[in-house]
Amino acid sequence: MIVKNEENSLARCLDSVNGIADEVVIVDTGSTDRTRQIAARYTEHIIDFEWVDDFAAARNFAFDQATSEYILWLDADDVFEPQDRAKLIALKRSLDPAVDSVTMNYNLSFTADGQVAYSLRRNRLVRRDRHFRWIGAVHEYLEVSGHLLHSDVAVTHKKDKVYTDRNLKIYRKREQAGEDFSPRDLYYFGNELKDHGQYEDAVSYYTKFLDTGLGWVEDQITACQKMADCEAARKRPDQEIVALLRSFVYDLPRAEICCRLGGYFADREDYRKAVFWYEQATQAIRPADPIVPVNEAAWTWMPHLQLCVCYDRLGNRTKAQEHNTIALAYHPTHPSMLYNEKYFREMDEGSVLENA
């Protein structure tokens, strides 16, 4: 682990792996709170690393301190929930030593009733003797190869700090120094700019990224969606829809993009076109690669809920009710669907369907 000022979350994280990890290595990048004292309750391996605005450098240094056969990495605001802790113990007992890297789900957000709303996969457990390295000063990634195992273990992210402009400052500093950015850096610089409301600059960097023709196809598709978000914030609807349609250049339509297009037309009360795109979302083909992150709502209940609303606006109550029923099958406790169900049951012509 690399840490800095994590006194509020570190014990929770280390408790979740206590008794599983054969050694715990903590690399401190400049804590001024009680982080080191808390870490000392779990390990003697607490090493200082001078922060150099480079996450990959810090993580590679941390990896270099490990001595066991496999390395598991975590952030301080990550945790293994009890069911995943049990799965991790079972994995440790049964893991084939031929496996070079184990991927795990990374659960990042949840619905009100505790269901996973968004997750992605990370290479989380790797053989030390393969000497895999981290790449990237910001939004670093672990470059792996060989025999991969896609496990059912999940790491849960429990963010308890306010997001800062730290990463944006690192990128701006590199920009001012005249550094050449890799395609991946262009994409993540765009993300940082977007997250801080600098939409024009974000669009510029997303465009630079896409114009390279390089990078992960999923980043290309997501860049189009985020560019559309920026254009919407800038109140440029023509550029917004062009950005969404550009995503079709890179692969088959994703449900997320189809839902976004449906929403674009629904917002303009063009329900016929909205229905077309929401229907496309329900028929989209999921990527076969388990590493690809997906928004589960877009691939399950959300387009059906929106189709319910659109069909009702078009006067087709039968189709509206049909899609609400499908949506409920995916998410039986969603308040909007329950409201709609009651609305149909009572056939109250004065009621108004709720959107998601």
Give residue limits of the domains in the chain: 2-157, 169-251, 253-356
Supply the DSSP string of 36-101, one letter for each residue. Answer: HHHHTTT-SEEEE----S-HHHHHHHHHHH--SSEEE---TTEE--HHHHHHHHHHHHH--TT--E
Measured between alpha carbons, how far is 23 from 326 in angstroms, rounded to an integer? 48
Non-local (6+) Cβ contacts of 138 within 8 A are 55, 167, 170, 171, 185, 188, 192
**Same fold yes or no, 169-251 and 253-356:** yes
Q: What is the DSSP letter of 253?
A: P
State the CATH class of domain 2-157.
alpha beta
CATH node for 169-251: 1.25.40
Per-residue pLDDT of the chain (356 residues; tens, 9 = 90+): 999 999 999 999 999 999 999 999 999 999 999 999 999 999 999 999 999 999 999 999 999 999 999 999 999 999 999 999 999 999 999 999 999 999 999 999 988 878 888 899 999 999 999 999 999 999 999 999 999 999 999 999 998 777 789 999 999 999 999 999 999 999 999 999 999 999 999 999 999 999 999 999 999 999 999 999 999 999 999 999 999 999 999 999 999 999 999 999 999 999 999 999 999 999 999 999 989 998 999 999 999 999 999 999 999 999 999 999 999 999 999 999 999 999 998 865 555 656 65
Q: In what side-by-side order are the strands of the sheet with 25-28?
A: 2-3, 25-28, 45-48
Measured between alpha carbons, how far is 140 from 216 in angstroms, rounded to an integer? 14
Rg (C-alpha) for the chain, rounded Å, is 23
* C-alpha closest to that of 106 among 120, 124, 91: 120
**The predicted structure's pLDDT at residue 154:** 98
Q: How many residues does this entry show for the chain?
A: 356
State the CATH class of domain 253-356.
mainly alpha
Non-local (6+) Cβ contacts of 188 within 8 A are 136, 138, 139, 167, 171
Instruction: State whether residue 141 is helix, strand or coil.
Output: strand
Instruction: State whether residue 287 is helix, strand or coil.
Output: coil
